[in-house]
Amino acid sequence: MSKRVGDVLTAVRRGRGGVSVSHNKNTAEMPVERMPVPEKVVLSMQQHIGVPCTPLVKVGDTVAVGQKIGDSDKYVSAPIHATISGKVTAVGDIKLANGIITKGVTIESDGEMREYEGIKPPVITNKQELCAAVRESGLVGLGGAGFPSHVKLNIPEDKEIDTLIVNAAECEPYITVDYRECIENAENVLKGVELLRDILGFKQVIIAIEDNKPKVFEIMKEIADRDNEAGDTIKLMTLRSRYPQGAEKMMVLSATGRKVPPGKLPADVGCVVINVASVAFIARYAETGKPLVSRSITVDGSAIREPKNLRVPIGTNIGDIIDYCGGFKSEPRKIISGGPMMGIAICDTDAPICKQNNALLAFEDKKDLVKKERDCIRCGRCVDVCPMSLMPTLIERFARVKDADRLKSIGVNVCMECGSCSYACPSGRPLVQYMRLAKQVLREESAK
């Protein structure tokens, strides 16, 4: 029993800026509950960053769980699978929670959850096979961004990669699904890490956890210790819990001290950052061959009667999920898909959830929701908190007069819209909105 404890690292370098947001991890100790099979699911053909899929089924077709129903021949895309078994009742335009109209497939359940016969574990012996398998699984970054994972893992040959960073920071308030994943599926996390390390040849793997999750840290440490024969490559790291610690560039800086230049990816400085739930999924997929058909989400907020962590088939109606959580205990004034810092406020609950949704939060009309907007007093808090060393207040000014030249020189494109500036602004200015406007101004300028 005297096995050597794996290396525990502390953050190499502290990122600048950031804000301390109250964590509100109310659902942390609630095990992920499996939601009953919904009557129907609506599957958007665009659940990832990249090219939308084309439906492979038509109205009247019978589909089974895990059957591919949408795909694209483009590289940056991820296939869509049926998440329940039943009959296709509609193929056409659907409305997503954020109001965007896109192509989608509606499946009515037969209640059997029959599995597709074609499912078999993939053979993974090298990088090409791994990337092909991950693409087939339909996996996209489960942390919220929805970037197709196979693109991330398919590192160009000319880039030297040494470090895999497993992102278990979960710095957004309220959300606890990654936390639950680490506690409930620690074995899978380890298997996934080992698979990626062995196939892609990482010299070291860093599992990065914020210091407000000591329980996850203990479990991960125990797991990592089991892998010791493999040469002590898996290390744990505690990070200061300060939003936006989980952002990719911040993560790379904290874990390795390297700075990702503007417009570049972590791979350019030798790192790959992957969400912990995505790692665990890859391990499950390698074992079973079952594609991404369900995901965990946190349902919480002051207007939800029974906050829960749920595992739901992708495409489940948001209204059904809220009903399953006891409905609203008071009238909600704002419903957010995702976390409160970067999530999207939705206008209608009659919409399906997508692969990248990690939370549904509903709030009553309270002080949280709207802050009175006043004139900028130049206090500089936005500049202090910007993790990307930008000057949001100046960007706002230039964006309003559409001064593309000055916007370009001030470097607005590195903004990741983390929301720290708007959060900190005592005058309640919607700075993130101006950041987006500024990027739009630059896009229009370059299109000229």
Partner 1 sequence: MAKKLTVSASPHVRSNETTTGIMLDVIIALMPALVMSVVYFGLRALTLTVVCVCSSVIFEALSRKIMKRPNTVGDLSAVVTGIILAFNLPASMPLWMAAIGSLVAIVVVKQMFGGIGQNFVNPAMTARIILMTSFPTAMAKWIVPFQSAWHPDAVTAATPMAVLSSVQGGDVAAVGDALPSLTQMLLGAHGGSMGEVCSLALICGGLYLMLRKVISPVIPFTFIGTVAVIMLFAGSFNLEFVAYQLLGGGLMLGAFFMATDYSTSPINKKGKIIFGIGCGLITSVIRLFGSLPEGVSFSIILMNILVPHIENMTTPRPFGEVKEKKAKKEVSKA
Which residue ranges make up the site for partner 1 (CB under 8 A)? 19, 21, 173, 249, 259-262, 264, 331-336, 340-348, 361, 363, 368-372, 374-381, 383, 387-391, 393-394, 410-411, 414, 417, 419, 422-428, 430, 432-433, 436
Residue 207 C-beta: closest distance to partner 1, Å: 24
**Which residue's CB is nearer to partner 1, number 31 or number 428?**
428
Residue 263 C-beta: closest distance to partner 1, Å: 9
* Residue 428 backbone dihedrals phi, psi, to 5 degrees: 60, 35
**Token pair 């006043």 is at which residue?**
374
For residue 104, what are the β-bridge partners? 44, 92
**Which residue's CB is nearer to partner 1, number 219 or number 394?**
394
Burial class (CB in 10 A: 0-12, 13-18, 19+), 291: buried
* Residue 276 backbone dihedrals phi, psi, to 5 degrees: -65, -35
**Which residue's CB is nearer to partner 1, number 202 or number 434?**
434
Residue 337 C-beta: closest distance to partner 1, Å: 10
Q: C-alpha 412: how far from its chain's center? A: 23
What is d(CA 319, CA 150) in angstroms, rounded to the nearest whole number?
32
**Which residue's CB is nearer to partner 1, number 68 or number 381?**
381
**Which residue's CB is nearer to partner 1, number 150 or number 381?**
381
Provide CB contacts within 8 A for 437, sequence distance 6+: 399, 400
Strand order in the sheet with 86-95: 40-44, 101-109, 86-95, 62-63
Q: C-alpha 123: how far from its chain's center? A: 27
Residue 419 C-beta: closest distance to partner 1, Å: 3
For residue 33, what are the β-bridge partners? 310
**Which residue's CB is nearer to partner 1, number 46 or number 337?**
337
**Which residue's CB is nearer to partner 1, number 17 or number 138?**
17
Q: How far is CA 416 from CA 118, 214, 421, in A?
A: 40, 28, 11
Provide CB contacts within 8 A for 172, sequence distance 6+: 144, 243, 246, 338, 339, 340, 341, 342, 343, 359
Residue 380 C-beta: closest distance to partner 1, Å: 4
Residue 45 C-beta: closest distance to partner 1, Å: 24
**Which residue's CB is nearer to partner 1, number 367 or number 448?**
367
Residue 256 C-beta: closest distance to partner 1, Å: 13
Q: How far is CA 79 from CA 72, 75, 86, 242, in A?
A: 7, 11, 19, 35
Residue type, 70: G
Residue 217 C-beta: closest distance to partner 1, Å: 26
**Which residue's CB is nearer to partner 1, number 121 or number 380?**
380
Count each helix (H run) and each strand (E run) in the chain, helices first. 13, 18
Residue 371 C-beta: closest distance to partner 1, Å: 5
